[in-house]
Amino acid sequence: MERLRLSSLILGLLVLCSLFFSSFSFGQTRPVELTFSGLSPTTHANCLMNNEWAKEIEKRTNGRVKITVFCGGTLTSPDKIYTGVVRGISDAGYSAMGYSRGKFPLTEVIDLPLGYKNGRAATKLINEYYRRFKPKEFDEVKVMYFHAHGPGVLHTKVPVRRLEDLKGLKIRCTGLSAKVVAALGGTPVAMPVSEAYDALSRGVVEGTMLPRETLEGYRLGEVVKYTTENFGSAYTTGFFTVMNKDKWNALPSDIQKIIEGINEEWIDKTGRMWDEIDKAGREYILKRGNQIISLSKEEDERWAKAVRPLLDDYLKDMKGKGLPGDDALKFCLKQLKKLQ
C-alpha cells in the first residue's frame, strides 16, 4: 500500500514537471511579434523593400521574429512615424527625416544640395556619416539603417536650359528643396508630392523638384515635358529605419546579431533600388517623348554656385547649436567625391 502511494506521488510529480516544461517550452517558441510603420504607398518599391526586410528577418530567425508592415502611413502618419516608434505606437518604422525638420539638425547635412549623382552613393554616404558622427539626435531609438534617394532635379512644363530660364517659374517643392528652388531663382510653392500631379496638370505650378523615379512612380512624366539634370546642385532626402529601444533591448543577442547583419545588406540593396527606379523613371519619360536637358559643365557649375549659400547657412546654424557642422559638411563633401 505504501509502495502504491509512493508510485502515485512520483507519477503525479512527473506529470506536473511534464506540464511545466511543456508550458515553458511553448512560451519560448512563441514568436516575437512586432509592428512596422512605413511612409511609402503599398505599391512603391520602398514598401516592397520594407516587406522583404521583414520577411528576411522572419526567415533567418526561423520564425522567432515576425514583423507586420503597415505601409502608406496607415499606422502612423509620415510626420509622426519617428515619435510613434519612440513612444511604442509601432515597434519599428521608416520615414523621411524631412518630415521632422529640426529634430535631426546635424544630419540635415545629407539633405543639402551637395551635388548628388546617384542614390547608391547618397545611401552609402548617410550610413558612413552616421557611423562617423553617431549624432545624439538618434539616441531615443535603435537605428537599423539609413538610405537616401537619387538626385533631386528639376522637372518642368517648359524647357529650362539656363538659370535665367528658371527665374519666376512656380516650382512645387517641400522642405529643403524649397530653399534650393529659391536659391536657383524659381518661386517655391510648398506642396506634398501627392498633390504634384494635379497641381501640374491644372497649371497651378510649372514644375517640380524631385528625384527622377517620381516621373513614373507618381506619373509626373505625364504632366511635365522636360527634365533638367542639374546634378551640380542636386539634393537628396535622408530616410531612417529605426526600432523602439525597449523592444530592441528585449530581443535575444543572437537575434540582434541576425538583424544587424540583414541591416548591413539592406543598405546596399536599398541604394541600388533607388538607382533602379530612377533609371525606370528616366526611361519612362523618354518613351513618352519627353526631353532630358543635360547642362554643360560651365552651366552646371553656375547652378552649384547659386546654392552654396545654403551650405553656409547650415554651418552658421550648427555653430549656433554647438554642433560639429563644419566637420560633418567637410566629411560628406569628401566622401561623396569618393563614392560617385
Q: Identify the pLDDT of residue 2.
A: 52
Q: What is the pLDDT of residues 232-251, one digit of tens each?
A: 999 999 999 999 999 999 99
Q: Identify the pLDDT of residue 26.
A: 39
Cα 78 to the chain's mean position, in Å?
Answer: 11
Amino acid at 97: M
Report all structural domains of the chain as residue ranges with CATH numbers, in order of start: 31-107+118-148+237-278 (3.40.190.170), 153-235+284-339 (3.40.190.170)
Helix (H), strand (E) at residue 2:
helix 2-29
**Could you tell me which of 233, 190, 231 has the C-alpha nearest to residue 208?**
190
Mean pLDDT score of the chain, rounded to an integer? 92
Strands of 92-96's sheet in order across: 65-70, 32-38, 92-96, 238-244, 141-148
Q: Identify the pLDDT of residue 101.
A: 82
Q: What is the pLDDT of residues 191-242, one digit of tens each?
A: 888 899 999 999 999 999 999 999 999 999 999 999 999 999 999 999 999 9
The grid coordinates of residue 19 equal 506540464
Partners of 37 in the beta sheet? 70, 93
Q: What is the pLDDT of residues 35-63, one digit of tens each?
A: 999 999 899 999 999 999 999 999 999 99
9: confidence class by pLDDT, cuts 50, 70, 90: very low
298: confidence class by pLDDT, cuts 50, 70, 90: very high
The grid coordinates of residue 93 equal 518604422
* Cα–Cα dist 330/332, whole Å: 6
